[in-house]
Amino acid sequence: MLFQLIQHLPPKITVGTARLVRLWPFAVQRTRGNAAVAVELKTDDEDGLLTFLDAYWDDVIAPLRGHIETSEHSSRKQYPSDPGMVWFSETVKDFDFYRKGLRKEILIDELPEADKSWGGLGRIGATLALHWPAVSKTYEAIAWRMPDATGQRKLDEEATQIVDELEGTFLCRDDRLQSSLLAPRGNSPVLFGIRTWQRDDSEHAAKILIDAPMTEPVSGWMVFETNQATNDHLDEPIEFTVEKIETIKGGHTIINSSHDRFVAFRESGQIALQCQKLQLGDEIECLGLTAPDRTIHIEFLRMKNLKPNRNRPLCPVCNKSMTSMGKNQGIRCKKCGRVSDDHWEESERGLPQNVWIQPPPSSRRHLAKPLSKEQTLQNNM
Ligand SMILES: [Zn+2]
């Protein structure tokens, strides 16, 4: 949408930085991917630009109102789209407002007033995108399919692999699923998105993929500055002692501390597996977003201090566990009757300690910063 608008701009307008900003993933009427876009436009004729934007709004964007996006990948309630657009004459930055927009629902009447605005709820994301101070940022090169393209997206396999292996790209593949994450799922005009730490790498990688012989033609591409992989949505890690663990329907695990309730979703892979093995009294640390029901959805997890396994010693003769004969009565082998002083044997739990773990690439939030290669390597030891 933004790309088409840019293509139709009248002459003598300079296009500056474009932004793709991910927002609170629990917002009730969010767009798919909780994304908003913005672009910096420079002109000596602001009135002329606003006249163009008025017409573009009426002809192209306003008619999309009420459209219901269907997705086979999402079961959440879909709302009719309510697009919005805002224009600020000057650069605006507001870290507190942006931060709030990643942590809770923002209502339309809370928005700082724009110099001009169009439409409905879409103004919330647009206003937040403009107020993002972009202190930490990454980049994404996005290419769009030709208008008549349908069906399976065609990306050159060799080029896809080259792009994945470039130093500066990230989140290109989910090795576990053996699949590329460059192309979006489902119905979308986007052919691919390549995430990189630096702008130059985005441009370089996009060209490799677009110029490759087996990649389908694109109608255009551009590089966005984004807040993806910045962890901007997360606060300081929370350390706590496990007080209660339950596994709920769907294989998700709920962990309670004395203050909070945490959830590890089955889709979180290693996190879910480790959480199922937790025991009362274990000390762990995690990072995650608080959902509207106040549960904290775990995105990063670290085992700090695990209680060792305690077992009664084995009978040296029969190799069976000895059992207690009662308080201060010692322990005894049921088979041969051998007795011994009352004691326990402790052993390690066999879980990784003091390393951060994260969900597989396809289950991570757009905002989540992937653990570095070094961190992951350490995790696999
Ligand atoms: Zn025995």
Do 214 and 107 fall within a single domain?
Answer: yes
The answer to whether position 303 is within a domain reads yes
Give me the domain span that covers residue 373.
238-308+349-380
**What's the one-letter identity of residue 318?**
C
Count up the domains in the chain and report the number.
2
How much distance in Å is there from the Cα of 309 to the middle of ligand 1?
Answer: 22
How much distance in Å is there from the Cα of 100 to the middle of ligand 1?
Answer: 64
Do 67 and 174 fall within a single domain?
Answer: yes
CA distance linking residue 129 with residue 151, whole number of Å: 31
353: CATH: 2.40.50.1010
Do 191 and 264 fall within a single domain?
Answer: no
How much distance in Å is there from the Cα of 327 to the middle of ligand 1?
Answer: 20
Do 191 and 259 fall within a single domain?
Answer: no
How much distance in Å is there from the Cα of 342 to the middle of ligand 1?
Answer: 15
The answer to whether position 87 is within a domain reads yes
Do 99 and 232 form a contact (C-beta atoms < 8 A)?
yes
Of 191, 206, 226, which closes a domain?
A: 226
The answer to whether position 26 is within a domain reads yes
The answer to whether position 315 is within a domain reads no
The answer to whether position 267 is within a domain reads yes
Do 181 and 262 fall within a single domain?
Answer: no
| DSSP label of 57 | I
Do 25 and 145 fall within a single domain?
Answer: yes
Do 124 and 247 fall within a single domain?
Answer: no
Do 252 and 166 fall within a single domain?
Answer: no
Structure tokens, 361: 């690439």
Question: What is 163-219 written as a DSSP string?
Answer: HHHSTTEES-EETTTTEE-SSPSSS-SEEEEEEESSHHHHHHHHHHHHHSTTSPPEE
Please state whether beta strands 14-22 and 218-226 pair in parallel, antiparallel, or not at all (unpaired): parallel
Of 173, 201, 226, which closes a domain?
A: 226
| Ion ligand 1: residue ranges with CB closer than 5 A | 315, 317-318, 333, 335-336, 338
Query: pLDDT truncated to tens, each residue of the chain (381 aa)?
Result: 788 999 999 988 999 999 999 999 998 888 778 899 999 999 999 999 999 999 999 999 999 888 876 655 555 667 788 999 999 999 999 999 999 999 999 999 999 999 999 999 999 999 999 999 999 999 999 999 999 998 899 999 999 999 999 999 998 888 877 888 999 887 889 999 999 999 999 999 999 999 999 999 999 999 999 999 999 999 999 999 999 999 988 889 999 999 999 999 999 999 999 999 999 999 999 999 999 999 999 999 999 999 998 889 999 999 999 998 888 888 999 999 999 888 889 988 888 888 999 999 889 999 999 998 666 655 543
Do 172 and 194 fall within a single domain?
Answer: yes
Of 192, 226, 260, which closes a domain?
A: 226
Whole-model pTM: value is 0.88
